[in-house]
A = this chain, B = another copy of it.
Amino acid sequence: MRKRIFHILEPSNKKDLSHYFDLFIMAMICLSVVDIILESEATLRAKYGNWFQYFEVCSVVTFSIEYGLRVWTCIEKKKYASPFSGRIKYMTHPMALVDLIAILPFYLPFVGIDLRFLRILRLFRIFRVLKMARYSSAFNLIRSVFKEKKEELLVTSVFIVIILIIISTLMYYLEREAQPDHFSSISKSLWWGIVTLTTVGYGDVYPITALGKALGGIITLLSIGLIALPSGILASGYTEQIIRRKESKRKNDKKENL
């Protein structure tokens, strides 16, 4: 019995009960997210407020039952084999924690702060379903690129953050007298730095002094190169992974020929 439920809860590629269960859960997640988004609309809340509540109850009950079943059946997996410590281990797994956090706000209305925004974390579930089954190959490729290029990306990130802090500090000293509102502190100047380096450029903060514009202009031109860095790293990472896969495939083919 527990084994059967466990297999139903696990994602599956075949068109069996487990597959339809996956589809049902995905539909519940999507509807629940639509529910959260629409409920935030004041006019809709005034009209259909109750219906949003009803559906929220339904979805939380579904997710709670599912969560309970998962905790109950997780010991079917070797990793979590032990009845008690295995279940604790499962429950403290980041992904299971996110699941719990996404249904908890419903049961904790008495807590002072409004925790309802945590409900949106249910979305992470979609990602997990996607991770399995048909898209697992694409998913793994992207993950292995990030994993292998971790150090290059980290060095690049540190470089970007250092440049960001330095130019924001310089801009703070250059602009604070001309614009005491927008550059009153380095942390405010950092906001300008981020908005500029990422080329978002809202336009709420920008240098107005001649020196500030000169520095800002040079920084912005160089930021083209900065933004090209992660793009180049990832592109070469993909090419590398694909070449590696082909080579290992070719080796396998050779072995089979022998």
Residues of A in contact with B (beta carbons under 8 Å apart):
33, 36-37, 40-42, 114, 116-117, 120-121, 123-124, 126-127, 130, 134-135, 137-139, 141-142, 145, 151-156, 158-160, 162, 165-166, 169-170, 172-173, 184-187, 190-191, 194-204, 206, 213, 217, 220-221, 223-225, 227-240, 242
SS class of chain A's interface: helix, strand, loop or mixed? Answer: helix
Copies in the complex: 4
Check A185/B138 contact, CB under 8 A, given A120-B166, A166-B120, A195-B201: no
Query: How far does the alpha carbon of A213 sit from the alpha carbon of B193 in the complex, in Å?
Result: 12
Q: Which of B127, B202, B230, B242 contacts A240 (CB 8 A)?
A: B242
Residues from chain B with Cβ under 8 Å of A200 in the complex: 196, 199-201, 220
Q: Is the CB of B242 within 8 A of A236?
A: yes
Residues from chain B with Cβ under 8 Å of A41 in the complex: 185-187
Residues from chain B with Cβ under 8 Å of A114 in the complex: 173
Q: Is the CB of B155 within 8 A of A123?
A: no
Query: How far does the alpha carbon of A141 sit from the alpha carbon of B138 in the complex, in Å?
Result: 20
Residues from chain B with Cβ under 8 Å of A156 in the complex: 142
Residues from chain B with Cβ under 8 Å of A134 in the complex: 151
Q: Is the CB of B186 within 8 A of A198?
A: no
Q: What distance in Å separates the Cβ of A144 from its nearest Cβ neighbour in chain B?
A: 12
Residues from chain B with Cβ under 8 Å of A197 in the complex: 221
Q: Is the CB of A232 within 8 A of B227?
A: no
Q: Give 26 CB contacts A-B under 8 Å.
A: A37-B169, A40-B187, A42-B185, A117-B169, A120-B165, A120-B166, A120-B170, A123-B166, A134-B151, A135-B154, A138-B152, A141-B152, A145-B232, A153-B225, A194-B221, A195-B201, A197-B221, A198-B199, A198-B221, A200-B220, A228-B235, A229-B234, A231-B234, A233-B238, A235-B236, A236-B236
